[in-house]
Structure 1
């Protein structure tokens, strides 16, 4: 199968995104068909990966995805590619409680796929001590192999030599060293500014590729890749989330973009037709659609504009009188009665669910979710279970009466109570569904 490798680090902010994007773009410029992968539930990075590699990205998550889905996505992503380049999340071994191999860590994915790890080490403020960190990573989990190390934030040639020679002395190859402060991508409260909003993104990606090509031995990196391990029967016969309808009108713009690539791909593979529309451009969902889906995103940054877009709001309300509408996270907020932005200004939303939310009263809600649906939806019957993720800063100001969509627990089994709403054909919640149990 297609060879692959995983770019990881021991903590967030160490430079793995810089290295992963630079590698994807640099290798694609060499003519390689690079298949990008993001470990974990991040819904922003895959869009950057797709732009860098010129091929669609995908998430792989060992906690939220069943083994059949993981195997199918591994097979599908590598098809027609020369190399799979995966980017880890947080620290290489960071995860949550779960059975062996199903903790949500990047190490789980490397072990499952048989990929070597390219370890990115931020060596700012240290030199030979970096070798102790690399050695610990190499010995911590016997399932994985550290194929090589890339130094990041190197201050001088002497700095590079001290850290690099110490790491090579323990038997790990140093594949390159990036100087500090060269290229950065803009960020906001949920991570990177979205790919579609990043100014001159291709020029920035080319700059990352130039940086990586100048300071990392690309030939050695490619030579380290190992064939992807695919389990028998990983054919991808079921979509992760059953299509909610045959013709799916889906909001798609800077305010509504947090959709996992594997969900949309699964709908298309099942024969559904995707009908995108832009609420920010005051477009209504397609009149001939049979279900409307409002993804998460950044509606709090555009609340005033959305509230003034009567064609969108009126069209959404008309749609909901006869057909199902579902909202995830930001989409859920827009289905509510009001959204308070960061300045404290309140903006009227669709009023289809008894919910008022605030971004002025910020509180981080972050983590995996296991949901048992207490109300039927077009993609999951009552009693069905699903796994997903929640990541937002919005607070609920009021939640009126109405049936809850689901009962949820976190990854630790802690009950979080009822979640979301279901009122007639309209439903929504703050959690993003990753995989519905068959």
Structure 2
């Protein structure tokens, strides 16, 4: 039987990922099997989890997934000793309108699974107020259990003593306090952390984080606070249809934002996936029946993509007879042109008329519910798809027929409808699940 915990915080940027990775690696060093999950729509953190544990991590999302799908996904932790779910943003942060089984908040997953929450609190610039914040989070939602707190970036022993005393007065356990330590800071860029696969020293960084956390946090006390848990049988699994029988998947530093549960569901349904690298000037496998370009960072590699004639020509030849779909960054590469942050315009593949620019960045962020006006790979017209959009590009032109009517989480119609032309389709949102 596994021990389950949720790692959360009052806000983003407090140190949830670092603590999750450090705990996972430290317990692994002790001979325990650790399974991680990510609450919410994050494509980057699961790869860090896998690096720390040696086990694949997946996303669980209460806005896009029903309880059966979440139960199906977390059941992979049945053979683990410890199961950690890392939260997104703050503990209760989600959207105003309820989705399939919740608002997308980490608290939904904690309550659904019955796992206590370990809060990461950064008391920089405060002392006793940190205890008031922790007590407010503990008491905000009945049925949620707070296991305790790990303090991060404490300024001095005196600072730590002030905060610890206030938390003890509030009846909140303090598992440890971490001084500032630059050696365990994970590098960031505009869509979040720099990807694990781009960091050659990620193993050493996680080892140092584990050593540092083991020195300052009572690992045994954290483990004792976890809830004994065994997965419940899932009535329903994931409602995911593969886009084809043999899928050519773009996969490299420019095309890496794809949810692990999607790939697993495709394979579980019998699909074969062959990967190719547009950055290495590779074309999609000619024996595939569909090509899928996920999101990523094409804006950082736009010049190279534009110069890779074999990739561009091979993709255009593929699209003459077979389906091609792009998500977010992949959608931009299917377009006519992409202007980078320095204002340089780069020719893309031209399968769609979309033109985008990063010269004037504007953030687009949030859940998306799309009703398809036309088919896209794996999904029929009229299908209701749930996904998430996060990018900084601006649409200069989107002249093709819209692929879908797209709403945000409040029900408002948005302009990012996706496009379709010939065998090519694209969306700005990343698909998470189809409504049953």
TM class by smaller structure: over 0.9
Matched with 1:88 is 87
Describe how 1:230-269 pairs up with structure 2 within 5 A: 230-234=231-235, 236=237, 239-269=238-268
TM alignment of 1:131-210, pairs within 5 A: 131-182=131-182, 183-210=184-211
In structure 2, the partner of 1:325 is: 324
Deviations 1:198-220 (A, max 9, x none): 24111111111111111111111
CA distance in 2, matches of 1:310, 1:279: 10
Deviation at 1:140, TM superposition (A): 0.6
> SS in structure 2 opposite 1:171?
coil
| Cα distance, 1:4 vs structure 2 | 1.1
For 1:229 and 1:144, how far apart are their aligned partners in 2?
Answer: 18
* Distance of aligned partners of 1:201 and 1:233 in 2 relative to their CA distance in 1, 3 Å threshold: closer
Q: Which residue in 2 is equivalent to 1:70?
A: 70
Counterpart-to-counterpart distance in 2, 1:359 and 1:370: 25
Distance 1:28 1:317 in 2: 47
2:69/2:234 contact within 8 Å kept: no
Q: Does 1:375 align with 2:400?
A: no
Aligned equivalents of 1:249, 1:219: Cα separation in 2: 46
Q: Secondary structure at the match of 1:19?
A: helix
Mapped to 1, the partners of 2:98 and 2:393 lie a distance apart of 32
CA distance in 1, matches of 2:234, 2:52: 31
Gaps of 5+ in 1: none
Tell which deviates more after alignment, 286-295 or 413-422.
Answer: 413-422
> Residues 2 and 82 of structure 2 are in contact (CA less than 8 Å); yes or no, is this contact kept in structure 1?
yes
- The partner residue of 2:403 within 402, 405, 418 is 405
- CA deviation digits over 1:77-105, x for unaligned, max 9? x1321111111111101111234950100
2-structure distance, mates of 1:366, 1:235: 29
State the SS of the aligned residue for 2:402. coil
Unaligned 5+ segments in structure 2 are: none
Say if 1:240 and 1:434, in contact at 8 Å, map to a contact too: no
Matching residue of 1:419: 417
Q: Are the aligned partners of 1:63 and 1:98 in contact in 2 as well (CA < 8 Å)? A: no
CA distances 1:136-192 after superposition (whole Å, capped 9, x unpaired): 111111121000111111112221122112212222211000002442111100011
Distance between the aligned counterparts of 2:230 and 2:384, measured in 1? 28
3-state SS in 2 of match to 1:313: helix
C-alpha displacement of 1:423:
1.1
TM-score (norm 2): 0.97
Q: 1:431 aligns with which of 414, 426, 429?
A: 429
The answer to whether the Cα contact below 8 Å between 2:335 and 2:352 also exists between their aligned partners in 1 is yes
| Contact 1:364–1:393 (Cα < 8 Å) also in 2 | yes
Shift of 1:29: 1.7
Inter-partner Cα distance in structure 2 for 1:356 and 1:429: 13
Greater shift in the superposed pair: 278-287 or 123-132: 123-132
> How far, CA to CA, are the matches of 2:79 and 2:274 in structure 1?
27
Q: 1:399 to 1:99 in 2, by over 3 A?
A: closer
> Could you tell me how far apart the structure 2 residues matched to 1:430 and 1:184 are?
30
Are the equivalent residues in 1 in contact too, given 2:78–2:231 (CA < 8 A)?
no
The correspondence of residues 278-357 of structure 1 with structure 2, limited to 5 A, is 278-357=277-356
Q: Say which SS state the counterpart of residue 176 (structure 1) adopts.
A: strand
Residues 418 and 407 of structure 1, relative CA distance in 2, 3 Å threshold: farther
**TM-score, normalised with respect to structure 1:** 0.96
Query: What displacement does 1:228 show?
Result: 3.7
Q: SS state of the match for residue 322, structure 1? A: coil
1:247–1:273 contact (8 Å) kept in structure 2: yes
1:102-141 paired onto structure 2 within 5 Å: 102-141=102-141
Deviant stretches of 4+, over 6 Å: none
Residues 151 and 409 of structure 1: CA distance in aligned 2, closer, same or farther (over 3 Å): same
Partners of 2:259 and 2:416 lie apart in 1 by 24
- Distance change (3 Å), C-alpha of 1:240 and 1:298: farther
State the secondary structure of the residue aligned to 1:79. helix
Quote the residue 2:213 is aligned against. 212
For residues 23-54 of structure 1, what are the alpha-carbon distances to aligned partners after superposition, in whole Å with 9 as ceiling and x for unaligned?
Answer: 11111222211111111101111111111111
